[in-house]
Chains A and B, each alone.
Chain A
Amino acid sequence: DAKTTQPTSMDCAEGRAANLPCNHSTISGNEYVYWYRQIHSQGPQYIIHGLKNNETNEMASLIITEDRKSSTLILPHATLRDTAVYYCIASFKLTFGKGTLLTVNP
């Protein structure tokens, strides 16, 4: 099971795109990348997941590099309500790590 590495924190201006990176250099060929976010005192909220193709849904886009060793979650127009801790994981049977605290500033 692959471990993931994320920056501890990032800032983004409201209305701008937020690009959150994740390194998963040990990911195996059949492991998906999942992104969740957690707002204080709530359970993690699913955002998006993918294997090797880029994915987009109503919340975000996921860009996975061709070698699958890293990915980027893109929130195209960040709002104040997107302030949260964002987690990138490759397996539900692993500890999530500390994630990235994204702060969206007005």
Chain B
Amino acid sequence: DTGVSQDPRHKITKRGQNVTFRCDPISEHNRLYWYRQTLGQGPEFLTYFQNEAQLEKSRLLSDRFSAERPKGSFSTLEIQRTEQGDSAMYLCASSYLAVPNTEAFFGQGTRLTVV
């Protein structure tokens, strides 16, 4: 297993377009987190899944954002009608629930640029 994988690594899109990012967690990791990180700031929590259930969403996750994890494995994060303020690094992390308080492992992120 090579760790958490995110695709694409970079995405440039025009304002108003929809974009979708994919995250493949470490095998058997049943918790999956999404974060957003802008320049000079730490990662901001967006949402997390336990298996296929989305258990918590940050108020940062506006109606234009939606995340899914249909089979409890990979997850997608979609942004509709992108705005320039959506330009950021989108990070995914996963952890293994069966080991309490275990650490989460991060992917390398998807860098979104909205022009």
B-binding residues in A (CB < 8 A): 32, 34, 36, 41-46, 49, 51, 85, 87, 92-99
Is B56 within 8 A of A93, CB to CB?
yes
Q: Enumerate 8 A-B pairs (CB-CB under 8 Å) in ascending A order.
A: A43-B4, A43-B91, A43-B106, A43-B109, A46-B105, A92-B33, A93-B45, A98-B40
The answer to whether A46 and B103 touch (CB under 8 A), given A92-B33, A92-B93, A93-B56, is: yes
B73 within 8 A of A: no
Kindly name the residue among B89, B101, B107, B111 whose own CB sees the greatest number of chain A CB atoms within 10 A: B101
> Number of contacting residues on B, CB 8 A?
24
B residues in contact with A49, CB < 8 Å = 101, 103
Q: Which of A45, A92, A96 contacts B42 (CB 8 A)?
A: A96
A residues in contact with B111, CB < 8 Å = 41
Q: Which of B41, B44, B108 contacts A42 (CB 8 A)?
A: B108
B interface SS class: strand
CB nearest to B95 among chain A residues: A92
Is A45 within 8 A of B43, CB to CB?
no
Is B106 within 8 A of A95, CB to CB?
no
A interface SS class: loop
B residues in contact with A96, CB < 8 Å = 35, 42-44
Q: Which of B48, B95, B107 contacts A43 (CB 8 A)?
A: B107
Closest CB of chain B to A70's CB: distance in Å? 19
Task: Encode B30-63 as 1/0 by CB contact (under 8 A) with A.
Answer: 0001010000111111001000000010000000
B residues in contact with A41, CB < 8 Å = 89, 111
B residues in contact with A42, CB < 8 Å = 108-109
Is A44 within 8 A of B91, CB to CB?
yes
Is A51 within 8 A of B40, CB to CB?
no
The complex places the Cα of A54 from the Cα of B109 at a distance, in Å, of 31
Is B56 within 8 A of A95, CB to CB?
no
Is A43 within 8 A of B108, CB to CB?
yes
